Structure formats: C-alpha cells, structure tokens
Structure 1
C-alpha cells in the first residue's frame, strides 16, 4: 500500500510473494534460458531463492552491503564481496542477477561492472528486480513495478532489523 504522499510503500507477505511470482512470469515469458541465478545478499536472497525453486536452477550468492546505518535506512559505503558462493564451482554461462530493487542503481551498476570485468566465464548477464525506483540510474532487464515517486519500501520482514534475541525470549516466554 502506497501512502498518500507517495513517500512510503508498505508491502505485506502475500503482496511480496505475489510480486516475486509476477517477476518469474516476466522472466519466463521473455523466453530467455539461463544457467544460474546469482542473488545479491541480503535483499535479493528471498526473491533469488524463490526464483531458483521455480526455475529449478542453482542459486549463487554474492554479498553486498550499503544500507547499514539507522536500521538500514541510510545508504553508506558500498561493499561488494570478492567471492561468489555457488554450488557448481565457478559461476559461468548465462546468469540471472537478482536483487529486490533498483534503488539508486549504485549497487547494481557496480556489481555488473565487477562481474563483467572479473568473471569471464559468464557469457550473458541479465538482471531482475521486484521494484525499480524512478531515480535509479540502473534499468534492469526484468522488473515488476516502477515507482516514480521513489518511496521507501517497507518489506514484510523489516521488523527483524531491530529485533534482538532478548526480545524474542520475552515474546516467547523463554
């Protein structure tokens, strides 16, 4: 649900999973065949996992991080992992890069630059996200929703960003 001022988008669990399913349909309808899904941790892990299951393709993971301050609401320095975790040795062939959103575009542009320069066995690379913000400098190959007002997206699992083990113990009366 987008707020009236267009500054916040609240997404329920059901909406989130429906959007990932719509992303899968868009990818399928394109007719493009790929060998591996490479998700960006953390935001791309949930969509990457689901797409990996739907398409029955191996899931590789590359860690990136830039939103760490203020409970993940302030973008800072971008860190990109040097190595990719993959069940098939080295990542190669046609790769679908998955993240949750193209926000500013900085992360996706940097990752694609790194993949093209440092992972020669990748023969073709396409990208898929749930949301693309209007301000993004990156335009993914596959996206479900364009958000021209650039709202902050409140995803259904955000509550875990501030939850502590002690709070869980209190909640579950341990």
Structure 2
C-alpha cells in the first residue's frame, strides 16, 4: 500500500470530474450536505457549480494521525434555511471503511423523514469500504493513505504564523 499524494490542481480537477459525473447522471437534488472536515471543500465547490444550498454536518472517526476511533456525529445539521428537501446529496472527500457514510445516511434519514432520496458522492472510494458511494471519481484497490494538499496545515503552530515565509 503506497501513499497517494494529491496536489491542489489534482484535487480541484477531481472535484470537477465528480461534478461532471453527477451532472451526467441527470439526478436532480434539492440540497448538498457536506461532512466536515474532509467534505467541506468538496461540498462548497459542488454547491457553487449546481447552485444548490449547502448544509454542514460535522462527523469524525479519526483521533490521531491514522488512528480510527468511534464515529462521532454532531447533534444537528447546520443550514441557513429550515427545509431539508426531499432529495439530498451527501458528500465527503473519501470513503475508507464505509462507517461514516453508512451511519450518517441512517442518522439523516432518522432526523429528516422528508428525505425521500439520498445519494452519496466522494472523490476517492477505497476497496476497504463496506459502503459503495453513488458517485466517485477514483476507485483505489490498494487502499492507500491519501495525502491531501491542505494537510500541511495540520502541523502548523500559531507561533509559525509570525514567520515571514510560511512553507
């Protein structure tokens, strides 16, 4: 299992390919919900492309560098209007084990009975996943650890912000 390193250009191109795939399916949806943190950028860009309202649901199962723990889901979805809509697109950056997407789809359907149709979209779908997303850009048979371009900020400290040249 080799690590996969993704540049900003590759990252944005992948989101555009995901948007193209969703568009070509001709599935109409009312709202996009992104899973924070990984799905924030994906959801933001898709929301802009499709001109659909964006909602945010915080969910996390990673506690350390590569340590997966118990899934924690926020108590509510953050959105600027009161109506969820009947057709929802749930987006994240990747599906690894499948636990997060599987459990959040159940959680959303329980909390919002008006959801009639819920589909999922990710950039990367790993073979290790028990959940198959409706839309994905890359199937990764070798289950690599994915290094996304914004991860460089994970190691920043506030004191580094005073430096004149951040790298």
Q: Report the TM range for the smaller structure's normalisation.
A: over 0.9
Q: Which residue of 1 aligns with 2:62?
A: 67
| Distance in 1 of aligned mates of 2:155 and 2:68 | 17
1:94 deviates by: 0.7
Aligned alpha-carbon RMSD (Å): 1.2
Q: Which digits, 9 at most, give the CA deviation of each residue in 1:132-163, with x for residues without a partner?
A: 00010010000000000000000000011111
2:109 maps to which of 108, 111, 116 = 116
1:169 deviates by: 1.2
| Distance in 2 of aligned mates of 1:16 and 1:138 | 22
TM (norm. structure 1) is 0.92
Q: Which digits, 9 at most, give the CA deviation of each residue in 1:54-109, with x for residues without a partner?
A: 00000000000111213xx2111210011001112142221000000010101111
Which ranges of structure 1 fall in alignment gaps of 5 or more residues? 1-5
Q: Which residue of 1 aligns with 2:48?
A: 53
Which ranges of structure 2 fall in alignment gaps of 5 or more residues? none
| Distance in 2 of aligned mates of 1:80 and 1:109 | 12
1:170 deviates by: 2.3
TM (norm. structure 2) is 0.95
Q: Secondary structure at the match of 1:85?
A: coil
Q: Which residue of 2 aligns with 1:162?
A: 155
| Distance in 2 of aligned mates of 1:129 and 1:152 | 15
- Equivalent residues in 2 for 1:22-61 (5 A)? 22-61=17-56
| Distance in 2 of aligned mates of 1:51 and 1:21 | 8
| Distance in 2 of aligned mates of 1:117 and 1:48 | 22
- Equivalent residues in 2 for 1:65-144 (5 A)? 65-70=60-65, 73-144=66-137
